[in-house]
Structure 1
């Protein structure tokens, strides 16, 4: 199903679509790529409920060196140097309920719980100091993430490729980064945010093309973030997070009627954020590219097990993401 999981979720969404789908018939649930090839409906049938439980592990690390000064020789720097090393781990438990309004239209509600552990080591800016004064900070905690509501519609059944349109609304129920105080000594947050702090809406379009024994898929989406008033350094400001343009494509391959795997690649461009209508001078576009490999195995007639691993290909993308999903159709 087309859905998100945190900052890299859209990429995984495109991969899950051909692996966990429901047919038009209430007694015939499609759980693998082989089922998609044989059936035409890819959303929950009319009047049918499903519950999707997922657990996502995300790891991201960064090493930065900031220099304020000038170079006398290629190996001699006069000025101030700051070195930081950050390792961030995020665990997201998601419960997703889906209901078929009609055989072509599906409604979805997602409830996430987010736990984060951030470890940051910083050597503060100093002038000519020979001391190795490294400050290590560990911040951990969890809480409710951003609730999501989505609706999807399959436009055609009799011809291929199949086209599915979607509209997702994300709330701001998670703890916002702007609601967390900052430690000025290390420039790190004193608590972990569990949400973006902003409402957003995401229209999307997905294409599925069955080609026995594979299913080709491609998706495009756009996330629009609504501007909101937040407090920055005890001053109220109107902040608009940068919108996101998403594209992705891949293939699901049926090994046998019960086992399938998928390969996919996705790209995100995050536009510049603005404060009071203006972008900072050092603001830049973020380019997120990732590669995903997934395996799906049918457990029984109404459930399957899906495991997917995602590797970041660019600096701004999370280094590694592992997702375990178990959908169940009632």
Structure 2
């Protein structure tokens, strides 16, 4: 195996396992097995970058996502290029999402890891609507909606393909359930959309992925390619006072991300990355609606990782959207704790 120093190992463990280990104290009992990989020698004997065999990581996370949009709609027709007859409306929408997640990861072997995640989602939307040339008061009409509930529970498996030589390749598959409230199960507001905000997508999905990790002293380069397959399902839709069954096939998603991590010292590291997602058009009853859109989501992310002690780390990350469809801002805080 190619030799690389402690700094690269720290970053590699932070990127893949979500945590890095502090140096092992000298007074540790010799017969006590380490809870995390601490030394280069340990890596040589067990060069796994996933959760070690028999170890359990409890990862507590909290994320804050903010997204806003401003739209102007015109209902009418033009008489002259500078004259519009009809109704002009300006909408200002602010959407805030708080997600508390509890994730457990267990190392079945040094190559194979299993993961489960349970999210609790709180959503708050503020929608302001103003009729620019309508009758009555010019004051905007403001409505707020909020809801909190269980989100979509996820389960995942990760397998490290090679162990001895870099770059390391990790294959994974993630399953998403429909435990969160579906957009088709919540009441609808005729003017503002949802009267009660959903906390799930309403459709199960399967996401295979492949991750590459390349240690380059003293940094680590990573890249990830994934595909989200949303499984088609039948939903009940109310239209013109009648409830009918409709077949919905949400657009699948291709995702690619890449970046680098750099260890400043054995306790602290930071990372920079770029992410791109392409969401294909959805289908209704086997055909694509005329207003369906192909979405492009690009974002840039920065993160910092600090090892509080040999079992606990603190991860802080920020993400900024680069395209109109991507969330404007996201802040996440994670605290992985390793048990044996």
- Contact (CA 8 Å) 1:36, 1:210: kept in 2 or not? no
Give SS of 2:184's match. helix
Q: Identify which range, 115-124 or 259-268, moves more after superposition.
A: 115-124
Aligned equivalent of 1:248, options 252, 257, 260: 257
- 2:41 equivalent to 1:42: no
Aligned equivalent of 2:121, options 114, 119, 125: 114
Q: Which residues of 2 match residues 122-133 of structure 1 at below 5 A?
A: 122-123=129-130, 128-129=134-135, 131-132=137-138
Q: For 1:130 and 1:144, locate their aligned partners in 2 and report how far apart those are by CA, in whole Å.
A: 42
Q: CA deviation at 1:304?
A: 0.6
Aligned length: 310
Residues 183, 46 of structure 1: CA spacing in aligned structure 2 closer, same or farther, 3 A cutoff?
A: same
Give SS of 2:308's match. strand
Partner of 1:230: 235
Structure 1 consecutive aligned stretches of length 4 or more whose deviation exceeds 6 Å? 35-39
- 2:151 equivalent to 1:145: yes
Gapped regions of structure 1 (runs ≥ 5): 1-14
Aligned equivalent of 2:161, options 152, 155, 162: 155
Q: CA deviation at 1:28?
A: 5.5
Highest CA radius of gyration, 1 or 2?
2
Q: For 2:89 and 2:103, locate their aligned partners in 1 and report how far apart those are by CA, in whole Å.
A: 43
CA RMSD of aligned residues (A): 2.4
- Contact (CA 8 Å) 1:308, 1:324: kept in 2 or not? yes
Q: With the length of structure 1 as denominator, give the TM-score of the two structures.
A: 0.88
Q: Deviations over 1:37-83 (max 9, x none)?
A: 99831111111111000000000001111113333444432222222
Q: Deviations over 1:119-151 (max 9, x none)?
A: 111236x97536325321111120100000100
Q: Deviations over 1:258-314 (max 9, x none)?
A: 110000000000011111111111111000000000000010011110000000000
Partner of 1:66: 73
Residues 266, 190 of structure 1: CA spacing in aligned structure 2 closer, same or farther, 3 A cutoff?
A: same
- 2:26 equivalent to 1:17: no
- 2:36 equivalent to 1:29: yes
Give SS of 1:179's match. coil
Aligned equivalent of 1:193, options 172, 176, 198: 198
Residues 306, 128 of structure 1: CA spacing in aligned structure 2 closer, same or farther, 3 A cutoff?
A: closer
Q: For 1:167 and 1:92, locate their aligned partners in 2 and report how far apart those are by CA, in whole Å.
A: 22
Gapped regions of structure 2 (runs ≥ 5): 1-13, 22-31
- Contact (CA 8 Å) 1:201, 1:225: kept in 2 or not? yes
- 2:290 equivalent to 1:291: no
- Contact (CA 8 Å) 1:26, 1:45: kept in 2 or not? no
Residues 19, 145 of structure 1: CA spacing in aligned structure 2 closer, same or farther, 3 A cutoff?
A: closer
Q: CA deviation at 1:30?
A: 4.9
